[in-house]
Chain A
Amino acid sequence: MKKIDNMNLNKVRFTIQVITFLLIVYGGYIGLDLGDKLPTFACVFNPEGTGGKCYLGMIQHDLDHPWQAFLGFAGIAFLISLFIFVLWVWVLNKAWCGYVCPLGTMQDWLTSLRKKLKVKFIEYDWANRESIKKVKWILLILLLLLPFMVSNSLLGLPKLPGGLTMPFCDICPGRMLIPAFVGDFNQFYIDFSNPTDLIMTSLGMIVVGLFIVGSFFKKRFFCYFCPMAAFQYIFSKQSLFKLYKDGSKCTKCGDCYNACDMDILEIADDIKNKNLVTEDCTLCLKCVAACPEEGCLEANFAGKTIFKSTKEGFILRMAMNQQIQKESNND
């Protein structure tokens, strides 16, 4: 246990992310198929390579039916799909974001590149963070509502054009970037055939540009807006995987907050709640690694502590255990 508590989390996490990236993006070539209800961006537009499929894509497709259909077998099928998605979330909670999501991993790689180039990161202004948080919920509602409105007329409004059956996929940077990793660049296009597709594909190109530039400067730039994060969060409380905090041990020093790529203030300032998996949390566990207080933060799986903050671990990770410093370590 001590060995795990003393580990260099960044290295371990990097390795896990590389492995999961390979499985999700190239797993299909070795016959891996985790189904099509994954709570992570395993992209359907990479049909050969993907090791499973993203449920956000799936659910948009499922909702594009006349409402009567949901009264029958399609309704039951829909609930079963949702249940399988919830099961995946139940197992890993938001660690899907911090350890599996290929888009998350790409952003972390861009962050590493920025660090190598010694460029300073930017942060969202703290005064605006609350409003930024709402964006992902709006996106989630839209991505559920729009496909449904293609097949149904809501509140007397006319049905939406067919180009909106998968509105989120249209603007998701994963659609363009993930296939690019298997050499398929065909998703980089603007569709001029009709106004809806023109708008949506143009938006998609803009978003992918923002994604690359944004996440170079801002750690986990895209995750703030990610509707998958919102969707997972609805089922997060019941999950087996938790980030716990013992408020009585917290000195509010803010080391965890400094380490947090998502700038989650609660991790430092909330001393009342035990469960600290907030809506933006990616369960990357960098906060646990940055916490100097014995057992104040811990990753918990099914009631068992799997990784906790310790003074010794902190000192080792910050390389404060040796008197003679080499000139450039810890980069």
Chain B
Amino acid sequence: MTKHSIETPKEKQNRHKAMEAINTINTMKDEFKNPIAAMDAFYELYEDVYCKQKALHEDAIKVGTMCIQIPSEIIYAFDAVPIRLCNGFYTDDEIGSDLLPQKACPLVKATVGHFASGNFSDKPHFVYSPTTCDQKTKAGATIEGFGYEVIDVDFPRMKESEISREYFRQSIKEFTVDLSRRIGKKLTRKRLKNAVHKIGYAQSLYHKLCEYRKKEHVTISGNDMFFITNAFFFDKIDSWTEKTQRVLEELKQREKENITVAAKVSPRIVYTGSPPIFPNYKIPMLIEQSDAVIVADETCSSNRMFNDMVAVDEWNIYGMLDSIADKYLKACTCPIFTKNDDRIRRIIDLVKTYSADGVIYQAFAGCTVYELEQRSVLEAMEKAGIPILYLESDYSPSQGGQLSTRVEAFIESLKMKKRKQG
């Protein structure tokens, strides 16, 4: 006789999340032309972590980060592992909905929901939360209520001034001291330097991938890029590097054989706005299923993580820490900053260097800062003569019809324009 058991809430949550995950993975595997074989390793990674709840860093000290501004370089320098906890699961979003205001951002709700359930494959030992957007800043306190140690890290909301530079440099020093105390290790020059180089190398691979996206025949889809960059949130860095190198090798081969993921008339899209985080690739998938190709993005789950590398003039601890702080503050184009002309200039520059035909701007309903910046970005794009589509979305699996109509219409109009231009 088979033994019957009632599914626990945790098991139920895992089952729902696995369903979401496998759905995204399978769509990726099956619905796009000319899949990249080397991408299978990444799909497998997501399946292991999100469908099988496999732990990747069992013995390591895991440092949770709530935003991009907590420097991975410093965490790696202590032989700990950074785990970025920004979450893309609708299942967790629903749990979080009971804990946060109705109109809060789904990303924050999902992150809080994840903590509320306590259901981690790699549970962070403690969590650093930079004071970026209002919702993340306040989420820290809620998360603490579930018995986690959340350490707030000062982050200025204005980046033009020299005061903010000094402020964040100081903040990063304090973060380093705090981390050192918690882990019980001292930071050495050699370790930090190696960590800077390790991340720098990973970033250099990202830039190499991007070179293939600049070309006329695009050999890698935007969604695959999101899979790759998103894996950097939680993957073992050496394993990530290896997988990415294999993708690069294949792209080289594909270029020779002229295997592309998009047709010649497929509009080239720059994606910007609220970050697509696995498995919420709803909008990017819609775009590429509608016969466009995402050639570049301006989001904190991808481009912003890799674009800027730490540049050091004097390789001593203080020189490196200051450079690291500057990288995470000065180069950042997050909409939480007061003025944000840098973001607009970045988008325009991406459109130019990647010969894009248009921009798609997604804001999560409730992601106030992206919603607020929509107006200025749209205005600037109009001025620059760049077609742009603004979409509001959330994590719910419904809503597809309305969104796809708009995306398809936008892409069709870009196509028409492209055909006319020959």
- If A248-B345, A315-B204 touch, whether A323 touches B241 (CB-CB below 8 Å) is yes
Which single member of A120, A249, A294, A330 contacts B318 (CB below 8 Å)?
A120
- List residues of B (275-309) whose CB comes within 8 Å of A's CBs: 307-309
Chain B CB within 8 A of A126 CB:
yes
B418 to chain A, nearest CB (A): 24
Cα separation A164 to B201 with both chains bound (whole Å)? 59
Check B200–A315 contact: CB distance below 8 A.
yes
| Minimal beta-carbon separation of A43 from chain B (angstroms) | 30
Q: What is the distance, in angstroms, from B390's C-beta to the closest C-beta of chain A?
A: 23
Please name all residues of chain B whose beta carbon is closer than 8 Å to the beta carbon of A331 when the two chains form the complex: 315
CB of A176, distance to nearest CB on chain B (Å): 29
Contact B348 A248 (CB under 8 A): yes
B205's nearest neighbour on chain A, judged by CB, is: A323
Whether A61 is near chain B, meaning CB under 8 Å from some CB there, is no
Cβ contact within 8 Å between A252 and B330: yes
> Nearest Cβ distance between residue B192 and chain A, in whole angstroms?
12
Docked complex: B323-344 residues within 8 A CB-CB of A: 323, 326-327, 330-331, 333, 342
Distance in angstroms between the alpha carbons of A259 and B318 in the assembled complex:
14
Of A29-37, A49-57, A191-199, A265-273, the stretch lying at the interface with chain B is A265-273
Nearest CB of B to A299, in Å: 18
The answer on a CB contact under 8 Å between B346 and A251 is: yes
Kindly list chain A residues whose C-beta atoms are within 8 Å of the C-beta of B312: 258, 318
Beta-carbon contact of A327 and B190 below 8 Å: yes
State which of A254, A271, A325 has its C-beta within 8 Å of the C-beta of B345.
A271
One of A248, A258, A323, A330 near B323 (C-beta < 8 A): A258
If A265-B162, A319-B197, A320-B204 touch, whether A251 touches B307 (CB-CB below 8 Å) is yes
Tell me if A249 and B200 are in contact (CB < 8 A).
no
Interface residues of B in 197-211 (CB under 8 A from A): 197-198, 200-201, 203-204, 207
B194 within 8 A of A: yes
Could you tell me which residues of chain B, from 109 to 153, have a CB within 8 Å of some CB in chain A?
none
Any chain A CB within 8 A of the CB of B313?
yes
CB pair B331–A254 under 8 Å, yes or no, is yes
Complex: how many Å from CA A330 to CA B319?
A: 14
Residues 311-328 (chain A) with a chain B CB within 8 angstroms: 311, 314-315, 318-323, 325, 327-328
Asked whether any CB of chain A lies closer than 8 Å to the CB of B316, the reply is yes
Chain B residues with CB under 8 A of A265: 162
| Interface of B, helix, strand, loop or mixed by DSSP | helix
* Contact residues in B for A321 (Cβ distance below 8 Å): 201, 204
Contacts of A320 in B (CB 8 A): 197, 200-201, 203-204, 309
Task: A31 to B5: give the CA distance in the assembly, Å.
Answer: 99
Q: Give the distance in Å from the alpha carbon of A319 to the alpha carbon of B193 in the complex.
A: 11
Complex Cα gap A330–B311 (Å): 12
Min CB distance, B204 to chain A, in Å?
Answer: 5
In the complex, are the beta carbons of A290 and B313 less than 8 A apart? Answer: yes
Known A248-B345, A252-B342; judge A259-B200 contact (CB<8 A).
no
| Cβ-based interface call for B314 (8 A) | yes
Interface residues of A in 248-265 (CB under 8 A from B): 248-255, 258-259, 265
If A251-B308, A258-B322, A314-B311 are given as contacts, then 6 extra A-B residue pairs at C-beta distance below 8 Å, sorted by A number, are A251-B345, A253-B308, A253-B326, A255-B323, A259-B313, A325-B194
Interchain CB contact under 8 A, A322 and B201: yes
Q: A318-B309, A321-B204 are in contact. Are A251 and B331 (CB under 8 A)?
A: yes
Interface contact A259-B311, CB-CB below 8 Å = yes
The smallest beta-carbon distance between B297 and chain A, in angstroms, is 15
Q: Quick check: is A98 within 8 A (CB to CB) of the other chain?
A: no
Residue on A nearest B314 in the bound complex, by CB: A115
> Contacts of B201 on A, CB cut-off 8 Å?
320-323
Q: B40 an interface residue at 8 Å Cβ cutoff?
A: no
B249 within 8 A of A: no
Give A249 to B346 CA distance when docked, in angstroms: 8
With most chain A CB atoms within 10 A of its CB, the pick from B160, B198, B311, B353 is B311
Binding site for A on B (CB under 8 A): 160, 162, 165-166, 189-190, 193-194, 197-198, 200-201, 203-204, 207, 241, 307-316, 318-319, 322-323, 326-327, 330-331, 333, 342, 345-346, 348-349, 353
Which of B194, B326, B349 is A254 in contact with, Cβ under 8 Å? Answer: B326
Are A292 and B311 within 8 A (Cβ)? Answer: yes
Interface 1/0 per residue, A30-70 and B, CB below 8 Å: 00000000000000000000000000000000000000000
Closest to B318 in A: A120
Q: Assess whether B190 is in contact with A328, with CB atoms less than 8 Å apart.
A: yes
Cβ of A14 under 8 Å from chain B: no
What's the nearest-Cβ distance from chain B to residue A178, in Å? 27
Can you give 8 contacting A-B residue pairs, CB < 8 Å?
A253-B311, A255-B326, A255-B327, A258-B322, A259-B313, A315-B207, A320-B200, A331-B315
CA distance A249 to B353 in the complex (A): 10
Contact residues of A between 196 and 255, Cβ < 8 Å to B = 248-255
CB distance from A318 to the nearest CB of B (A): 6
Q: Which residues of A contact B307 (CB under 8 A)?
A: 251
B77 to chain A, nearest CB (A): 13
The answer to whether A253 and B200 touch across the interface, beta carbons within 8 angstroms, is no
How far apart are the CA atoms of A331 and B207 in the complex, in Å? 25
- Leading 7 A-B pairs by shortest Cβ distance: A320-B200, A253-B331, A255-B311, A254-B330, A126-B162, A259-B313, A254-B326
Is A175 in the interface zone, CB < 8 Å from B?
no
- Indicate with 1 or 0, residue by residue over A160-198, a CB within 8 angstroms of chain B CB atoms: 000000000000000000000000000000000000000
Which residues on the A side are within 8 Å of B346 (C-beta)? 251
Complex Cα spacing A319 to B327, Å: 17
A120 touches B308 (CB 8 A): no
Q: When the two chains form their complex, are residues A330 and B315 in contact, meaning their CB atoms are under 8 A apart?
A: yes
B207 with A318: CB separation less than 8 A: no
Bound-state Cα–Cα, A255 to B160, Å: 15
What is the chain A residue whose CB lies nearest that of B211? A311
Residue of A253, A315, A319 near B330 (CB, 8 A) is A253
Known: A248-B345, A323-B241. A311 touches B313 (CB 8 A): no
Task: Judge if A78 is at the interface, Cβ distance under 8 Å.
Answer: no
Residue A83 interfacial (CB < 8 Å): no
A118 at interface by CB-CB < 8 Å:
yes
Whether B342 pairs with A258 at a CB distance below 8 angstroms is no
Considering the complex, give the chain B residue whose CB is closest to the CB of A261. Answer: B313
B194: A residues at CB distance < 8 A: 325, 327
Contact indicator per residue, chain A 282-310, by CB within 8 Å of chain B (1) or not (0): 00001000101010000000000000000
